[in-house]
């Protein structure tokens, strides 16, 4: 295991983007990003002790991947979970962003208690890096946008493998794809950044969260009925019996999963990576195949496989009738 390096001296030098990406980052730096100059701190701090990957490398990754990840964060409130001392140290949820810099766009909502919650909205690279500098390793956007916060434009199925074989997770993902296709719906797959899979079903932003949850629950129940030995919608760990947990409750208001191209706070610094359905079918790609150290080679070869989730908007009306007419 690599040891943490000693605290490096702070630097007041302002780096250009090219300098920022090429240097081995130490201490504190200033980064010029268009109209903003960001103060980035403690860049020598090791976030992944086993691999020796630092906070500086994480920030460099997010700067490089920003053209790909920002479209999946744009106009969406974000949930912050901060790891200020890396993945092996305590983390905490930052529920409301107080007094952010003026360039950080925010979205405010009221809790039932009347207390305000201020969510950041990552629409540009400066905001992305500012929040990553706070220790937010993973980027967790809502499924809805600030223009229609009550109406999501994604339905997400989260496959949590439990104690099952990785190949079973792929089998479950392919079953969900077939069920949705039988209703005339197209979905997209990505790694969770761990051993699971996320399936995204893009929809028109005309359904309330509760309607989306009801639809997702019907799909999930049908899938669990088709694969009862390996798949369950049971939320209780004790009642899952080691089966894959098909979590559709992540479609509730204010819930989130890691965005495409988001780094995960897991050993190896894995990245939640879009997949082709042939790759899912091959059952060959595990959580360590895509990390912040190798992802760009894949992007250069395949481009952005998740674009359909941004441009395809599907209606659930006919799908409801076709999918569930024989199952009610």
Asked if residues 62 and 69 have their Cβ atoms less than 8 Å apart, the reply is yes
**pLDDT (tens digit per residue) in 220-231:** 999 999 999 999
Is residue 60 pLDDT above 50, yes or no?
Answer: yes
Is residue 198 pLDDT above 70, yes or no?
Answer: yes
**Which residue in this structure is represented by tokens 């200020």?**
84
Confidence band, pLDDT 50/70/90 cuts, at residue 1: very low
**pLDDT (tens digit per residue) in 92-144:** 999 999 889 999 999 999 887 878 999 999 999 999 999 999 999 999 999 99
Does the reported pTM lie above 0.75?
yes
Asked if residues 143 and 258 have their Cβ atoms less than 8 Å apart, the reply is no
- 14-137 and 154-324 in the same fold: yes
Q: What is the assigned CATH class of domain 154-324?
A: alpha beta
pLDDT at 9: 45
Average pLDDT taken over every residue of the chain: 92
Domain range summary for the chain, segments of one domain joined by +: 14-137, 154-324
Is residue 254 pLDDT above 80, yes or no?
Answer: yes
CATH topology of domain 14-137: DNA primase, PRIM domain (3.90.920)
């Amino acid at each position: 295991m690599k040891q943490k390096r000693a605290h490096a001296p702070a630097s007041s030098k302002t780096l250009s983007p090219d300098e920022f990406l090429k240097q081995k980052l130490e201490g504190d730096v200033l980064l010029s990003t268009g109209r903003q100059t960001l103060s980035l701190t403690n860049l020598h701090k090791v976030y992944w002790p086993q691999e020796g990957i630092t906070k500086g490398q994480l920030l460099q990754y997010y700067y490089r991947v920003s053209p790909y990840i920002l479209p999946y964060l744009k106009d969406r409130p974000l949930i912050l979970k901060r790891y200020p001392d890396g993945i092996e140290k305590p983390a905490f949820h930052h529920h409301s962003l107080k007094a952010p810099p003026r360039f950080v766009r925010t979205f405010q909502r009221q809790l039932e208690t009347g207390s305000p919650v201020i969510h950041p909205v990552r629409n540009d690279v400066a905001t992305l890096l500012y929040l990553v500098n706070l220790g937010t390793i993973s980027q967790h956007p809502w499924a809805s946008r600030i223009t229609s916060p009550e109406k999501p434009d994604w339905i997400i199925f989260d496959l949590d493998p439990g104690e099952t074989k990785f190949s079973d997770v792929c089998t479950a993902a392919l079953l969900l794809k077939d069920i949705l296709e039988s209703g005339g719906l197209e979905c997209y797959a990505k790694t969770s950044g761990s051993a699971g899979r996320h399936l995204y079903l893009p929809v028109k932003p005309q359904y309330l969260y509760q309607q989306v949850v009801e639809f997702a629950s019907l799909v999930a129940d049908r899938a669990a009925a088709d694969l009862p030995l390996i798949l369950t919608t049971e939320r209780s760990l004790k009642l899952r019996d080691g089966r894959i947990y098909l979590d559709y409750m992540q479609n509730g208001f204010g819930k989130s999963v890691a965005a495409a191209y988001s780094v995960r706070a897991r050993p190896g610094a894995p990245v939640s990576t879009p997949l082709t359905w042939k790759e899912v079918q091959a059952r060959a790609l595990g959580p360590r195949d895509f990390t912040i150290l190798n992802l760009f080679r894949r992007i250069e070869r395949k481009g952005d496989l998740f674009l359909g989730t941004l441009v395809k908007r599907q209606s659930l009306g006919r799908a409801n009738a076709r999918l569930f007419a024989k199952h009610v």
